[in-house]
């Protein structure tokens, strides 16, 4: 049996997304795939499974996936630079429940997210702002610009505030 859930996580919510996937698996729903904000789950036996996300650039995709698979992590899929992995807790044998072996590895991933997602968002925002500057005399254009400004400020500052120690 399949179920589809719509859930939105922004770029700074990857830990919340991992927790959500783990909770769904505990309740008998194993992640099949993710498309945008739609999560597809298949029915399974409830189990305590750890889900982890890793952000990587396209050049290192295959190497990263193979490295984690060699450590016993099941690769699920890749979406927008994030690779989804899972591993039953019973197979951890007291090991760290994270895909990253140390704080530096986790911090490196956060920096990759910043460079690969936040910086392009800032560039896109500046381009949109410049495009709409000529149309500020039109209320609709001003409204769109204000909406995008608020969304971009929220996403970017949320990420920077959450991970400022790493950046």
pLDDT at 95: 66
Counting Cα atoms < 13 Å in the Cβ hemisphere of 162 gives: 19
Per residue in 94-134, pLDDT (tens digit) is 666 677 666 777 778 778 777 777 788 788 888 877 877 77
pLDDT band at 153 (very low <50, low <70, confident <90, very high): confident
* HEC profile of 93-105: CCCCCCCCCCHHH
């Amino acid at each position: 049996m399949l179920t589809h859930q719509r859930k939105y996580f922004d770029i700074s919510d990857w830990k919340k997304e991992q927790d959500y996937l783990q909770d769904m698996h505990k309740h008998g729903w194993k992640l099949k795939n993710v498309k945008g904000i739609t999560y597809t789950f298949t029915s399974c036996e409830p189990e305590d499974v750890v889900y982890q996300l890793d952000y990587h650039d396209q050049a290192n995709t295959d190497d990263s996936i193979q490295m984690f698979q060699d450590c016993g992590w099941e690769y699920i899929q890749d979406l927008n630079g994030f690779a989804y992995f899972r591993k039953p807790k019973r197979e951890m044998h007291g090991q760290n429940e994270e895909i990253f072996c140390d704080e530096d590895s986790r911090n490196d991933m956060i920096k990759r997210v910043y460079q690969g997602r936040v910086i392009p968002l800032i560039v896109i925002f500046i381009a949109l702002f410049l495009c709409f500057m000529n149309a500020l005399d039109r209320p609709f254009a001003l409204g769109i610009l204000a909406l995008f400004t608020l969304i971009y400020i929220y996403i970017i500052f949320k990420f920077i505030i959450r991970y400022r120690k790493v950046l």
